[in-house]
Chain A
Amino acid sequence: MSTGDVTVKFEIWDTAGQERYHSLAPMYYRGAAAAIIVYDITNSDSFARAKSWVRELQRQGNASLVMALTGNKADLVEKRKVSVEEAQAYADENGLFFMETSAKTATNVTELFHEIARKLPKAAPATAPTGGLVLTDKAAPKKVKSACC
């Protein structure tokens, strides 16, 4: 996908949302540049679970992770349980970007990934390996032995 003069290639890991696979989740988000947290706008439980994923990623994920909160099934307006305002307010508080999508009607799907691609290059310098360890042949400072053990 191109954004301006930059081409972004996505490597998408589709996780399992079910609780029984929760322990596998860190394998998916470790080292990820972006995360899309999806909930179902017709299901307030799924919004609550999305919030707990946001908290987990804020705690465990990489610091420059681009996080997108996505309310899916936007075509089912008559069954809506989570309002746009509520989700937008939560996203603003937590520095996420928010979008409602519908995979069924293709609403905002490309836009979602496009927005992520657009946000990535800005975040990229921060994800580049920094610091590291400079090895020298100087002797390591002697450790002071403690009296115990």
Chain B
Amino acid sequence: MGAGKSSLVLRFVKGQFFDFQARLWERSNASVPPRAARSDNSVASQTAGYERGCALRPDFGRRSPPLVLRF
């Protein structure tokens, strides 16, 4: 089990807490890299829009059929 980094962020940003969220996350999406910003507890991968996050983008898109491009 993790140390609770994402839980700390979720608590700070949204005031929410979910038990065992890493476990849920890992089970549902085992080989996809972590999200740069995790704003909810769903399985959606949020990419980093910043240029320095650019190299991560293929990893986010590869395993997910629906892709939302927002501009």
Q: Which residues of A contact B (CB under 8 A)?
A: 12-17, 21, 24, 27-28, 30-31, 36, 38-40, 43, 46, 50, 70, 72-73, 101, 103-104, 106, 109-110, 112-113
Contact = CB atoms under 8 A, between A and B. Distances in A.
A109 B8 contact: yes
Given A103-B10, A109-B11, A109-B12, A16 B34 contact: yes
Given A38-B5, A101-B8, A12 B37 contact: yes
Considering the complex of A and B, which 8 residue pairs feature the smallest CB-CB distances, nearest first?
A103-B7, A16-B34, A72-B4, A103-B11, A40-B3, A38-B3, A38-B5, A103-B8
A36 B52 contact: no
B56 A104 contact: no
Q: How large is the interface on B (under 10, 10 to 19, 20 to 34, 35 or more residues)?
A: 20 to 34
B44 interface: no
Contacts of B53: 27
Interface of B: 1-13, 15, 17, 19, 33-38, 48, 52-53, 55-56
A15 B33 CA distance: 10
B35 A14 contact: yes
B56 A15 contact: no
A74 to B, nearest CB: 10
B17 A104 contact: yes
B7 A106 contact: no
B37 A103 contact: no
A73 to B, nearest CB: 6
Contacts of B37: 12-14
Given A13-B36, A103-B7, A27 B55 contact: yes
